[in-house]
């Protein structure tokens, strides 16, 4: 099915100037960008985004990191984009992210892993609403 997902270049990816490469990968695959913004997330937004990790010991660090500088939040649309974009991102653990994937090409640590992508239809809808409350172009 045609879906929308929320993808975000994290502060480490913005600092390393890989937004262009990441956008290019999704464009080449045939997905369409429907929304994008460069912003420093507020703590409130970051805590809501990562609410499912609120009880984890690394939650504070995670929120500190994601609010430490600009992130590039995007909405992408296409056939099966939620699952396919996660395959393109690669696994969270650096020892499991294959070369050729975004994390496999750029990331060597668990926390500074360049990109976030929604993991299900429910999280995609929730995250798009959270990051783009003003809505997106149709
Ligand atoms: P992501 O899957 O985008 O969302 C949750 C993030 O938590 C995950 O990426 C990692 O960057 C981060 N994370 C997971 N486990 C740890 C950990 N043990 N220490 C620090 N960060 C972590």
Quote ipTM for the complex: 0.90
> For the segment 15-57, what is each residue's pLDDT rounded down to a tens digit?
999 999 999 999 999 999 999 999 999 999 999 999 999 999 9
| pLDDT(137) > 90 | no
Interval between CA 138 and ligand 1 midpoint (Å): 32
pLDDT the model gives residue 4: 98
**Residue 65 assigned ligand-binding role:** no
Which residue's CA is the closest to the ligand 1 atom numbered 2? 92
pLDDT the model gives residue 123: 98
| pTM flag (> 0.90) | yes
**Residue 92 assigned ligand-binding role:** yes
CA dihedral 15, 113, 66, 60 (to 10 degrees): -140
| pLDDT(10) > 80 | yes
| pLDDT(138) > 80 | no
Which residue's CA is the closest to the ligand 1 atom numbered 13? 111
Mean pLDDT value of segment 89-106: 97
Q: Is 49 a catalytic residue?
A: no
Helices 19-29 and 81-89 sit at what angle, rounded to 10 degrees?
A: 130
pLDDT the model gives residue 71: 98
Choosing from 92, 116, 119, 126 the residue with most ligand 1 atoms within 8 A of its CB, the one to mutate for a pocket test is: 92
pLDDT the model gives residue 28: 98
């Amino acid at each position: 099915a045609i879906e929308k997902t929320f993808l975000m270049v994290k502060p480490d990816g913005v600092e390393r100037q890989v937004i262009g490469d990441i956008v290019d990968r999704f464009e080449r695959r045939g997905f369409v960008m429907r929304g994008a913004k460069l912003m420093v997330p507020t703590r409130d937004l970051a805590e809501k985004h990562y609410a499912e990790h609120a009880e984890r010991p690394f939650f504070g660090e995670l929120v500190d990191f994601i609010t430490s500088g600009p992130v590039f939040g995007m909405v992408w649309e296409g056939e099966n984009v939620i699952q396919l974009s996660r395959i393109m991102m690669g696994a969270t653990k650096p020892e499991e992210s294959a070369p050729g994937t975004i994390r496999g090409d750029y990331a060597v640590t668990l926390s500074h892993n360049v990109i976030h992508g929604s993991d299900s239809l429910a999280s995609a809808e929730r995250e798009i609403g959270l990051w783009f409350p003003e809505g997106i172009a149709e």
